[in-house]
């Protein structure tokens, strides 16, 4: 299952998702659009993580956790979409 815990995990996860996209050409275009959206979310997460380390405030940590949860929800949607594409192939 693809998921991240910090923004540093994104590189590996993104590579795995791109591999999924290449397996099904009809899926590849949609994957690229979704990946662009998720990449933006990961950049935001990275900024939040830097702020959280600097301030060490619980609210900053909570914002990071919420952003990770949203990103992982998007990743689950990508996996579901891929599975559906595989089944209808």
pLDDT at 89: 67
Has residue 1 been placed in a domain? no
Range of the domain at 13: 7-88
pLDDT at 83: 84
The pTM of the full predicted model, rounded to 2 decimals, is 0.87
With CA atoms as reference, report the closest residue to 77 among 24, 44, 43, 33.
33
- Examine the pLDDT at 28 and tell me if it is beyond 70: no
Has residue 68 been placed in a domain? yes
The total number of structural domains in the chain stands at 1
pLDDT band for position 7 (cuts 50, 70, 90): very high
What's the pLDDT tens digit per position in 57-79? 899 999 999 999 999 999 998 88
The whole-angstrom separation of Cα 6 and Cα 27 is: 26
The whole-angstrom separation of Cα 82 and Cα 89 is: 10
């Amino acid at each position: 299952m693809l998921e991240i815990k910090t923004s540093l995990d994104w590189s590996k996860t993104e590579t795995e998702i791109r591999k999924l996209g290449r397996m099904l050409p009809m899926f590849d275009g949609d994957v690229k659009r979704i990946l662009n959206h998720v990449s933006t979310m990961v950049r935001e997460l990275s900024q939040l993580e830097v702020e959280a380390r600097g301030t060490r405030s619980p609210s900053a940590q909570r914002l990071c956790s919420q952003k990770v949860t949203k990103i992982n929800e998007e990743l689950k949607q990508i996996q579901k979409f891929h599975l559906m594409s595989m089944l209808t192939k």
